[in-house]
Protein backbone atom coordinates (compact mmCIF):
# COMPACT_ATOMS: atom_id res chain seq x y z
CA UNK A 1 0.00 0.00 0.00
CA UNK A 2 0.94 3.65 0.00
CA UNK A 3 3.44 4.64 2.65
CA UNK A 4 5.77 7.42 3.56
CA UNK A 5 8.71 6.60 5.77
CA UNK A 6 11.72 8.15 7.40
CA UNK A 7 15.28 6.84 7.57
CA UNK A 8 16.18 8.06 11.07
CA UNK A 9 13.90 8.07 14.08
CA UNK A 10 16.09 10.46 16.10
CA UNK A 11 18.53 13.10 14.98
CA UNK A 12 20.78 14.91 17.44
CA UNK A 13 22.58 18.05 16.32
CA UNK A 14 24.56 20.79 17.95
CA UNK A 15 23.11 24.25 18.07
CA UNK A 16 24.25 26.22 15.06
CA UNK A 17 24.82 23.19 12.86
CA UNK A 18 22.69 22.34 9.86
CA UNK A 19 20.14 19.53 10.13
CA UNK A 20 18.98 17.20 7.40
CA UNK A 21 15.89 15.07 7.86
CA UNK A 22 15.13 12.49 5.21
CA UNK A 23 11.98 10.85 3.98
CA UNK A 24 11.16 8.16 1.43
CA UNK A 25 7.80 7.91 -0.25
CA UNK A 26 6.33 5.08 -2.24
CA UNK A 27 3.57 6.60 -4.35
CA UNK A 28 5.14 7.95 -7.51
CA UNK A 29 1.79 9.52 -8.42
CA UNK A 30 1.89 11.90 -5.45
CA UNK A 31 2.32 15.43 -6.65
CA UNK A 32 2.51 17.43 -3.46
CA UNK A 33 4.62 17.04 -0.35
CA UNK A 34 4.62 18.81 2.98
CA UNK A 35 6.86 18.99 5.99
CA UNK A 36 5.30 19.47 9.40
CA UNK A 37 6.83 20.19 12.78
CA UNK A 38 5.14 18.94 15.91
CA UNK A 39 6.14 20.14 19.34
CA UNK A 40 5.10 18.36 22.47
CA UNK A 41 1.44 18.92 23.27
CA UNK A 42 0.70 20.69 20.00
CA UNK A 43 -0.69 19.82 16.61
CA UNK A 44 1.53 19.58 13.53
CA UNK A 45 2.65 22.95 12.24
CA UNK A 46 3.15 23.55 8.53
CA UNK A 47 6.78 24.29 7.66
CA UNK A 48 7.19 24.12 3.92
CA UNK A 49 5.76 22.36 0.92
CA UNK A 50 6.85 21.41 -2.58
CA UNK A 51 5.11 20.26 -5.71
CA UNK A 52 6.37 17.48 -7.91
CA UNK A 53 7.25 19.86 -10.73
CA UNK A 54 9.97 21.34 -8.53
CA UNK A 55 13.10 19.81 -7.04
CA UNK A 56 13.96 22.48 -4.51
CA UNK A 57 12.16 25.10 -2.50
CA UNK A 58 13.54 27.45 0.11
CA UNK A 59 11.95 29.11 3.06
CA UNK A 60 13.31 30.94 6.04
CA UNK A 61 16.20 28.74 7.26
CA UNK A 62 14.56 25.70 5.70
CA UNK A 63 14.98 24.04 2.33
CA UNK A 64 13.08 21.09 0.94
CA UNK A 65 14.60 18.92 -1.74
CA UNK A 66 12.64 16.48 -3.85
CA UNK A 67 14.22 13.68 -5.85
CA UNK A 68 11.48 12.02 -7.83
CA UNK A 69 13.83 9.52 -9.41
CA UNK A 70 14.45 7.79 -6.10
CA UNK A 71 11.27 9.03 -4.41
CA UNK A 72 13.14 10.87 -1.72
CA UNK A 73 12.36 14.04 0.17
CA UNK A 74 14.57 15.93 2.58
CA UNK A 75 14.24 18.89 4.90
CA UNK A 76 17.32 20.98 5.59
CA UNK A 77 17.36 23.34 8.54
CA UNK A 78 20.15 25.88 8.58
CA UNK A 79 21.76 27.04 11.82
CA UNK A 80 19.63 24.76 13.97
CA UNK A 81 18.31 26.38 17.13
CA UNK A 82 16.96 24.93 20.38
CA UNK A 83 13.48 26.00 19.29
CA UNK A 84 13.78 23.62 16.35
CA UNK A 85 13.62 20.65 18.70
CA UNK A 86 10.49 18.75 17.76
CA UNK A 87 9.24 15.79 15.76
CA UNK A 88 9.26 16.38 12.03
CA UNK A 89 6.87 14.62 9.68
CA UNK A 90 6.88 14.44 5.95
CA UNK A 91 3.55 13.91 4.25
CA UNK A 92 2.43 13.26 0.72
CA UNK A 93 -0.90 14.41 -0.58
CA UNK A 94 -2.58 11.72 -2.63
CA UNK A 95 -6.20 12.03 -3.67
CA UNK A 96 -6.82 14.71 -1.03
CA UNK A 97 -5.46 12.48 1.74
CA UNK A 98 -2.33 13.24 3.66
CA UNK A 99 -0.19 10.17 4.23
CA UNK A 100 2.33 10.81 6.96
CA UNK A 101 5.70 9.32 7.64
CA UNK A 102 6.52 7.94 11.05
CA UNK A 103 8.37 11.09 12.14
CA UNK A 104 11.90 12.02 13.13
CA UNK A 105 12.70 13.54 16.48
CA UNK A 106 15.19 16.37 16.21
CA UNK A 107 17.18 17.06 19.37
CA UNK A 108 19.30 20.18 19.54
CA UNK A 109 22.01 20.33 22.18
CA UNK A 110 24.20 23.31 23.14
CA UNK B 1 -7.04 34.92 11.49
CA UNK B 2 -7.69 32.57 14.36
CA UNK B 3 -6.31 29.09 13.91
CA UNK B 4 -8.09 25.77 14.01
CA UNK B 5 -9.70 25.18 17.38
CA UNK B 6 -10.68 21.88 18.91
CA UNK B 7 -12.77 21.12 21.95
CA UNK B 8 -12.40 19.63 24.38
CA UNK B 9 -8.62 19.49 24.70
CA UNK B 10 -8.69 16.51 27.05
CA UNK B 11 -11.27 13.83 27.60
CA UNK B 12 -11.48 10.69 29.68
CA UNK B 13 -14.06 8.04 28.89
CA UNK B 14 -14.65 4.42 29.75
CA UNK B 15 -14.97 1.47 27.42
CA UNK B 16 -18.34 1.20 25.72
CA UNK B 17 -19.12 4.89 25.96
CA UNK B 18 -19.33 7.21 23.02
CA UNK B 19 -17.62 10.53 22.48
CA UNK B 20 -18.08 13.59 20.29
CA UNK B 21 -15.21 15.89 19.41
CA UNK B 22 -15.57 19.30 17.86
CA UNK B 23 -13.47 21.27 15.41
CA UNK B 24 -13.79 24.85 14.20
CA UNK B 25 -11.76 25.48 11.04
CA UNK B 26 -9.94 28.62 10.07
CA UNK B 27 -12.42 31.19 8.81
CA UNK B 28 -13.05 30.70 5.11
CA UNK B 29 -11.77 27.13 5.02
CA UNK B 30 -14.36 24.70 3.75
CA UNK B 31 -12.45 21.45 4.05
CA UNK B 32 -11.99 19.72 7.40
CA UNK B 33 -10.00 16.53 7.87
CA UNK B 34 -9.62 14.35 10.94
CA UNK B 35 -6.61 12.31 11.95
CA UNK B 36 -5.80 9.91 14.73
CA UNK B 37 -2.31 10.01 16.23
CA UNK B 38 -0.95 7.21 18.39
CA UNK B 39 2.63 6.25 19.29
CA UNK B 40 2.26 2.91 17.59
CA UNK B 41 0.48 3.86 14.37
CA UNK B 42 1.52 7.46 13.94
CA UNK B 43 -0.77 9.88 12.15
CA UNK B 44 -3.60 8.18 10.33
CA UNK B 45 -6.26 9.77 8.20
CA UNK B 46 -9.85 9.28 9.36
CA UNK B 47 -12.01 11.29 6.96
CA UNK B 48 -12.41 14.59 5.21
CA UNK B 49 -15.47 16.78 4.86
CA UNK B 50 -16.09 19.50 2.35
CA UNK B 51 -19.28 21.54 2.13
CA UNK B 52 -21.06 19.22 4.56
CA UNK B 53 -20.22 16.10 2.52
CA UNK B 54 -17.73 13.40 3.32
CA UNK B 55 -15.29 13.59 0.46
CA UNK B 56 -12.72 11.06 1.56
CA UNK B 57 -12.44 8.30 4.09
CA UNK B 58 -9.61 6.35 5.67
CA UNK B 59 -9.55 2.76 6.86
CA UNK B 60 -11.31 3.01 10.19
CA UNK B 61 -14.30 0.99 11.40
CA UNK B 62 -17.82 2.33 11.24
CA UNK B 63 -17.65 3.27 14.93
CA UNK B 64 -15.84 6.37 13.74
CA UNK B 65 -18.10 8.87 12.06
CA UNK B 66 -18.23 12.56 11.42
CA UNK B 67 -20.23 15.39 10.05
CA UNK B 68 -19.82 18.96 8.94
CA UNK B 69 -22.20 21.84 9.43
CA UNK B 70 -23.08 24.67 7.11
CA UNK B 71 -20.62 26.96 8.90
CA UNK B 72 -17.85 24.40 8.17
CA UNK B 73 -17.54 23.38 11.80
CA UNK B 74 -17.11 19.65 12.12
CA UNK B 75 -17.68 16.97 14.70
CA UNK B 76 -16.43 13.45 14.89
CA UNK B 77 -18.05 10.72 16.93
CA UNK B 78 -16.66 7.46 18.20
CA UNK B 79 -19.17 4.96 19.51
CA UNK B 80 -18.57 1.92 21.71
CA UNK B 81 -15.15 3.11 22.75
CA UNK B 82 -12.31 0.63 23.01
CA UNK B 83 -9.05 0.96 24.91
CA UNK B 84 -7.23 1.21 21.59
CA UNK B 85 -9.12 4.36 20.72
CA UNK B 86 -6.99 6.29 23.19
CA UNK B 87 -5.16 8.77 21.02
CA UNK B 88 -4.67 12.36 20.04
CA UNK B 89 -7.37 13.31 17.56
CA UNK B 90 -6.33 16.07 15.23
CA UNK B 91 -8.43 18.23 13.01
CA UNK B 92 -7.03 20.10 10.02
CA UNK B 93 -8.66 22.67 7.81
CA UNK B 94 -7.91 23.69 4.27
CA UNK B 95 -9.22 26.32 1.88
CA UNK B 96 -9.52 23.49 -0.63
CA UNK B 97 -5.90 23.68 -1.61
CA UNK B 98 -3.47 20.97 -0.68
CA UNK B 99 -2.10 22.59 2.47
CA UNK B 100 -3.79 21.58 5.70
CA UNK B 101 -3.52 23.50 8.94
CA UNK B 102 -3.85 21.57 12.16
CA UNK B 103 -5.50 22.32 15.46
CA UNK B 104 -3.97 21.44 18.83
CA UNK B 105 -5.86 18.17 19.04
CA UNK B 106 -8.09 16.45 21.58
CA UNK B 107 -6.37 13.96 23.83
CA UNK B 108 -8.80 11.07 24.41
CA UNK B 109 -8.09 8.52 27.10
CA UNK B 110 -10.26 5.42 27.29
CA UNK B 111 -10.21 3.54 30.60
Pairwise CB contact (< 8 Å): B104 & A96: no
Chain B residues closer than 8 Å to A93 by CB: 98
- CA separation for the pair B38, A18 (Å, rounded): 29
Please answer yes or no on whether A34 and B98 come within 8 Å at the CB atom.
Answer: yes
Nearest chain A residue to B38 by CA: give it: A102
What are the 10-residue block averages of pLDDT along chain A, 110 residues in total? 51 96 90 93 93 95 96 97 96 84 92
| B8 cis-preceded (ω within 30 degrees of 0) | yes
Pairing relationship of beta strands B10-13 and B106-110 according to DSSP bridges: parallel
φ, ψ (nearest 5 deg) of residue A50? -155, 140
The SS3 assignment for B12 reads strand
Q: What per-residue confidence (pLDDT) applies to B41?
A: 81
* pLDDT of A2: 36
- Give the DSSP letter of residue B16: T
Q: Give the pLDDT score at A76.
A: 98
Pick the residue of A40, A48, A98, A101 with the most B CBs within 10 A to test the interface with B by mutation: A98
At B97, the pLDDT band (50, 70, 90 cuts) reads: low
Alpha-carbon dihedral sign for residues A90, A95, A3, B5: positive
Question: Chain-wide mean pLDDT for chain B?
Answer: 94
- Position B37 scores a pLDDT of 93
Cβ atoms within 10 Å of A60's Cβ, excluding its own: 7
Q: Average pLDDT, stretch B73-93?
A: 97
Amino acid sequence: GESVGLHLPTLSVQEGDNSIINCAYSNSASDYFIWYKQESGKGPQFIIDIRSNMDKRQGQRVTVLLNKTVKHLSLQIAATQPGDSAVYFCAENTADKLIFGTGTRLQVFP
Amino acid sequence: KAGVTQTPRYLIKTRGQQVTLSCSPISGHRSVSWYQQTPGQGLQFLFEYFSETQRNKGNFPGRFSGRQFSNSRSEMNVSTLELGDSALYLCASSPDTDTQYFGPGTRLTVL
